[in-house]
Amino acid sequence: MKIRFMGRTALALAATACLAAGTHAAGQLVMEPLKDAGQNIYPAFEGWYQNDDGSYTLLAGYYNRNKKQTLDIPIGPENRIEPGGPDQGQPTHFTVGRGWGTIAIKVPKDFGDKKITWTLTANGRTVSVPFGLTKGYQIEPYLDAAMGNKPPVVKFSEKGEALTGPPKLSASGMASGVVGEPVTLSYWVSDDGHEETPTGGSAAAPPPAGAPGPPRRPRVSTTLTKYRGPGTVTFADATPTLEKDKVTTTATFSMPGEYWIRIEGNDTSGVGGGGFQCCWTTAFIKVTVKAASTGGR
């Protein structure tokens, strides 16, 4: 069976299947009620697709079961992907709820039935989930064939490289700044104009002339989150508006170091593609932050 897209329910079932196949969650049931803090984080396998060169890409996200607690888990024993890791581009900052399509891992064309495993330990609870070329999990993140919809395009200059679809840490914007001072973040986002409802069907028919219609989602929108970095990131606007396809906002950093800011570009299907594998785009801005000057000699 070839899956062209997977909704939230299907992905939840997929994650549950992965958990049942190879997960250890210390002292916690999968269906335990959510709490504000103290819960663990589940890696979530979202599917795979084949690249033009014959290799494959495995797409994964996560589910932070805490309602209020964000977590930072450095790369290492408590946040590792093996074999080939521990660092394979996964996040170290985990916002509450579901993080869709946060990591894309390329594997060779002869990967076959091998597996890679993402292990996360949060609040003393460890979960390991295996990823592979599982039958029935093939996805098409660059095109919703039923609707002809494609992901938005993100650029870091008006005529720069067009980034679409799943994340690529190597293709990123660059910025720099000083602790405690706003750093300007700029990028361009555009979309092909095709529309899709959050349930995967075609857009609803327009209301009769003169009748008020339901509020429409923006044609394209973006959301900014911290992806990696040693300190707290405060955005002037984490869902900034576009002006002629350009986005400009600022972020302020609490500590010096290297940060990655995740940009999620969405079309009318909503945040995270409305839970589908098409159509949204992930891109990153790498920000180098220096310590503030003390003013002394």
Task: Tell me: pLDDT of 294 over 60.
Answer: yes
Between 205 and 235, the higher pLDDT residue: 235
Between 146 and 51, the higher pLDDT residue: 51
153-204+217-290: CATH architecture: Sandwich (2.60)
| Residue 280 structure tokens | 């949204």
The pLDDT tens digits of the residues spanning 61-92 come to 999 999 999 999 999 999 999 999 899 999 99
Other Cβ atoms less than 10 A from the Cβ of 95: the count is 18
Q: What is the mean pLDDT of the chain?
A: 82
Helices (H) and strands (E) in the chain, counts: 1, 16
Inter-residue contact 54 to 109 (CB < 8 Å) = yes
Task: Report d(CA 143, CA 231) in Å as an integer.
Answer: 36
pLDDT recorded at residue 208: 57
26 pLDDT band, cuts 50/70/90, is very low
Task: Tell me: pLDDT of 1 over 50.
Answer: no
51 membership: H or E segment, kind and range: none
Extents of the domains making up the chain: 8-131, 153-204+217-290
The listed range with the strongest mean pLDDT (1-15, 24-38, 102-116, 274-288) is 102-116
Q: What is the pTM of this model?
A: 0.81
pLDDT recorded at residue 220: 82
3-state secondary structure of 68: coil
Computed on alpha carbons and rounded to an integer, the radius of gyration of the chain in Å comes to: 20
12 membership: H or E segment, kind and range: helix 8-22
pLDDT recorded at residue 49: 93
Contacts of 216 (CB under 8 A, 6+ apart): 268
Say if strands 125-131 and 93-94 run parallel, antiparallel, or are unpaired. Answer: unpaired
Between 51 and 193, the higher pLDDT residue: 51
Task: Tell me: pLDDT of 128 over 50.
Answer: yes
